[in-house]
Amino acid sequence: ENGYLAYLAQIAGKNQIFITSYDNSELVQLSYGNTSIDDIVWLKNERFILASKFYDNQSYLFLIDIPTQRHVKLFNIKANISYIHAN
């Protein structure tokens, strides 16, 4: 069956976002950088991943458009968001 899996994997001590096909024939890294991703949710429309990361004593929530790999910051808050959920 065709399908994809989104997950976090540690690269150089930082969590980064990847998606892969179930048969592992496709692998795409969606995040890079010096900050670790804390949590992800693949939205039901299957085009966007909602993600959070914490740095500079703030949590940042952003969307990743999977086809374009564009990151759009939604907001930041002076708190540590440890879990996100979306319907």
Give Cα separations from 75 to 2, 50, 58 (angstroms): 34, 12, 10
Q: How confident is the model at residue 1 (pLDDT cuts 50, 70, 90)?
A: low
Give the gyration radius of the chain's Cα atoms: 13
Q: pLDDT value at position 29?
A: 95
Summarised one tens digit per residue, pLDDT across range 9-57 is 999 999 999 999 998 889 999 999 888 999 999 998 889 999 999 989 9
Q: How confident is the model at residue 86 (pLDDT cuts 50, 70, 90)?
A: confident
Has residue 85 got a pLDDT over 60?
yes
Tokens 């910051």 sit at which residue? Answer: 73
Give the whole-angstrom CA distance, residue 11 versus residue 62. 20
Nearest to 27 by CA among 51, 11, 44: 11
Q: What is the model's pTM?
A: 0.87
